[in-house]
Chain A
């Protein structure tokens, strides 16, 4: 059979004598290339604005070339020093360090190194600033000269940090992001109780996001159902009520919630006026977790309503009637016929809301107080204020990993094939 087909293929040629199969393949390749060239701009756009920043972020979370580059004489020598000996490095290291400082003073790079090491141990920033100022006057014997310039150079633990962070790659940002660090003898250990913060925030971010997703689903399901069964004229009007806040500035909506929820706000005024709570015991609904949850549920609600609505719109009313005519109670028909048909919309809405919630930061920053801030607030803080971009990148990478992990769990449970975005 196979040989027969081959014979037939060989016999089939186009007008210019090229075998048909080759000619067809060529024509198809041309079409495919043309199609590809149409997609190429979008592909490049995504590569540059989406994939590259992620790669850059992942790289930044481990990159650590600065110390080794600036301190290029002393750092390699330091690798031979035994940090567990309890002794300071020898004179050759100090001499090389003096050269490094003289050069770094000229190129104005010592401050950067000081800042970098200060993330690991407070005091480095000042130490490098002071030493760079005195660098031109450093003379042999260098060890004594350095310790005279600042007594911190005589402390072994400063040198341990210096040696550890002079390698081109580091895990210390990830350690910091997981509330861990190096102990006195160089072992990795959890931070003291009063310095742990990020892991707590990761869990808080995940569970608040899950809660917000659940609340959005609970609120959006009946609304979407109503929208899908109403006549078009009425449902369009209601859709506008859903979309109007969606189009309003995020900051405006957040600020509106402050005016509503605060202790001297509208809601408190009403419940006090109605006599439900005493005037001196007003409800605390904002600047805490409650505020974050209420404001975020409101802001993210349209992302749940729209996919749900688009799916419910396509479910023929005859399905429910058929179920009922076959003897199902309204409840059974709803649970066994209607809900399974909306799963695609539930899945799409849930994943949209969850992923948006997990990265939210303006709203929690404004209404979250101390118990309602999320991990993204800290990423923003390290990006724009403390300038510890390595730590920000590590926190971001962990968040990305958490999202991907949840994504795959979701795929196993619901499956992406069952998702419908609209």
Chain B
């Protein structure tokens, strides 16, 4: 059972985050977008997002923006995520289960190698 958290705990969290931000000199911004329309949700998109957030927390990754969108429009490929690393082209992945999401986080987001077997589009 977790202990009750308060806004005072959040203050400490913020101070730690600020320290980490100062320690860094270059920031390579990473953006992850996940399709959360009805079809995506039914296909398991919330679990995919959860796996991504758990990975960020576990691996203590900084500067990753995670966004949702309701409308990617490729139903048969759901759950779909899109990954943008710095100025590189946007990579769309299809049929991203929680396990596949972990793999993409490890290989693409952290190591910089596109996981080609799940790519549906690069633009």
Q: Tell me, yes or no, whether A binds B.
A: no
* A residues neighboring B (CB under 8 Å): none
Q: B residues engaging A (CB < 8 A)? A: none
